[in-house]
Structure formats: C-alpha cells, structure tokens
Amino acid sequence: MTEALAKATRLPCWKGKVDPQPLGGGITNRNFTVDDGSKRYVVRIGDDIPVHGVMRFNELNASRAAHAAGLSPEIVYSEPGAMVMRFVEGKTLTEADVRDPGVLKRILPLIHCCHSEVMGKLRGPVLAFWVFQVNRDYAATLREGGSRMVGELSRLMHINDELETACQPVNVVFGHNDLLCGNFIDTGEKIWLIDWDYAGFNSPLFDLANVASNNDFAEEQERWLLETYFEAAVDDGLWRRYSAMKVGSLLRESMWSMVSEIHSDIDFDYVTYTEENLARFEAAHTAFSELT
C-alpha cells in the first residue's frame, strides 16, 4: 500500500498538497479518495495484470467512452499505472439492491446504453472479452502456478468447451463484462457504472448473464431481464444460450479468484471467494445440464 499511496500523492495533476485516503472495495486495484481544493477525486493505482487480461490502455479508452455516453464519471488525468476520475457521492449497491425490481429497472438502461452507445464513443485500440478463452487461459495459468485446483481443471475445461458451443450463435456489442453490485453507484437521481477493467467486445448475453449470476437472480427475474432487454418472449433457444453464458460467467469468476489466490498481493480472502463462486457455478451447471 505504501508504494501505491506514494504514487497517488505525487501525481502532477494536483493543485496543492494532498492526503489520499484508502477507498475500500477494490479487489483488482488500489483505490484512494483525494480532496484537492474544493473538489474530490478517486485515484485508481494499478499496472497491467496480464494473468487477468487487464490492460490499462483498454480500461482508459473504455472509461473515456463510457463517460462520453453518460455512464461513468469523467477521467481527469491518467498516466501509466494511475487514473484519476471525479468522485461520485452515492451508495455503492449491494446484491440485494440490484435484485430490487425498482433498482433493476434503472440498471437495465445502463446495460442497453453500454451495448448501443459506448462503441460509437470509443477512440483508440480496445480489446475483446470472450469468456471461454479467458477460462482456458486461466486454466493454463493455474497449471503453471501449481494451484490447489489443478486436479479440477480437466473437468472444468470440458464443461467450458461444451458451454462455448451451446451459446452459439452470438452477435457482438461492446460490453462492461464485470457487473458486480459494487460497480454500481446510486446517487438517488442517477446510477453510475464504474470500473471498466474488463470492458471489451462480447456477446450481449454475457453482461445479462453476468449481472444475474453475480447478484443471485431468481429465474423469474432472469426471464424478465431477457424479455425486457430483447423486447420479445424468451424461447427455448435463447434461454439455453443465455444459461450457457451464465454458467461460463460463473466459471470465469471462480477461476479469476483461483488465479488471484496465487498471483494477487491485495489483502482479500480469495479462497473463500473462490468457494462461494464455485458453489454458484456448480448449481448453475446442474440446472443447465437439465435443459439438454
């Protein structure tokens, strides 16, 4: 933390002396709030994380485009390893908040906007995010790192390949790809979508499955989400493709945590996070298997 704090303190964008305060919640970056004069900012300190496919040029370009689309706070300064954005005063949502029907009705337009508007605001290079390739690369990283989960990888990759086939065909949009509850901030008047570390071109089904799986939606709410997003009844084919993507999303979150267990130096209980997400993955995979 000392090195990150020092970097945040000495950024040349500050007008005066600053005293960065740690901001909780980050499990990929080290985050701080900074008061500079009468204005408050959030500073994200973090280099590229190749084992997770996180490239800061991609996060920066996606964040700027998301701001231009009205989804995310303005980026006021960046340099390698640091990004400064305007602070948004509001409530960080919980899983229960996201499941609330009234809140979800406000979140779904953000997902629509991300998929329809952000692409037209992008400048410079950006990445794709194909969850099944992410999972394959995670498996290789775990084998190389001697993970405690190595014995499970063959089974998980067999499932991964089946899911990849089952979710076809796909169309492509620009997605956020990390719709955890903590990435939504509600000011009361507006919900902001933050943290574009994993943004990239993807199937729209991934964001829909991701928000549902990360926030433990019931099937009724999932079907509402799909019907409202696509403005059409959910047929068996769409439900099966969506379900495959949901299982893939849960597998990715589980494997992200497995990799973080052996590569991250952030103080976070990744083992417990792995086990929680594996339980969700196994339940979703069982339900998916009953569809086929």
Question: Taking 70 as the threshold, does the pLDDT of residue 208 lie above it?
Answer: yes
| Cβ contacts of 82 within 8 Å, gap of 6 or more | 7, 8, 11, 43, 44, 45
User: For residue range 159-197, what is the model confidence (pLDDT) as tens digits?
Assistant: 999 999 999 999 999 999 999 999 999 999 999 999 999
Question: Taking 70 as the threshold, does the pLDDT of residue 27 lie above it?
Answer: no
Residue type, 290: E
| Cβ contacts of 190 within 8 Å, gap of 6 or more | none
CA pair distance 5, 100, nearest whole angstrom: 37
Q: Give the residues across from 138 on adjacent strands.
A: none
Q: Using the Cα atoms of residue 222, residue 173, residue 72 and residue 59 in order, give the sign of their dihedral.
A: positive
Mean pLDDT of the chain: 95
Q: What is the DSSP letter of 93?
A: P
CB atoms within 10 A of CB 167: 23
| Percent of the chain topping pLDDT 90 | 93
Tokens of 154: 């063959």
**Confidence bin at 210 (pLDDT 50/70/90):** very high
Q: Which of 189, 229, 237 has its CA nearest to residue 211?
A: 229
**Structural domains for the chain:** 2-86 (3.30.200.20), 91-289 (3.90.1200.10)
User: For residue range 214-271, what is the model confidence (pLDDT) as tens digits?
Assistant: 999 999 999 999 999 999 999 999 999 999 999 999 999 999 999 999 998 888 899 9
Given strand 21-23, what is the order of strands in its sheet? 21-23, 30-36, 39-45, 82-86, 75-79
Question: Taking 80 as the threshold, does the pLDDT of residue 48 lie above it?
Answer: yes
Q: Are 34 and 14 in contact (CB under 8 A)?
A: yes
Distances in whole angstroms, Cα of residue 261 to Cα of each of 148, 149, 230, 283:
9, 10, 38, 23
Alpha helices in 50-127 (DSSP H): 56-68, 95-99, 101-121
Report pTM.
Answer: 0.92
Q: Are 72 and 59 in contact (CB under 8 A)?
A: no
| Percent of the chain topping pLDDT 70 | 98
Question: Taking 70 as the threshold, does the pLDDT of residue 28 lie above it?
Answer: no
pLDDT of residue 132: 98
Distances in whole angstroms, Cα of residue 10 to Cα of each of 21, 57, 138, 223:
14, 21, 35, 49
Question: Taking 60 as the threshold, does the pLDDT of residue 1 lie above it?
Answer: no
- Chain position carrying tokens 């949009």: 173
Q: Are 51 and 257 in contact (CB under 8 A)?
A: no
**Confidence bin at 26 (pLDDT 50/70/90):** low
Least confident segment among 11-15, 28-32, 135-139: 28-32
CB atoms within 10 A of CB 192: 18
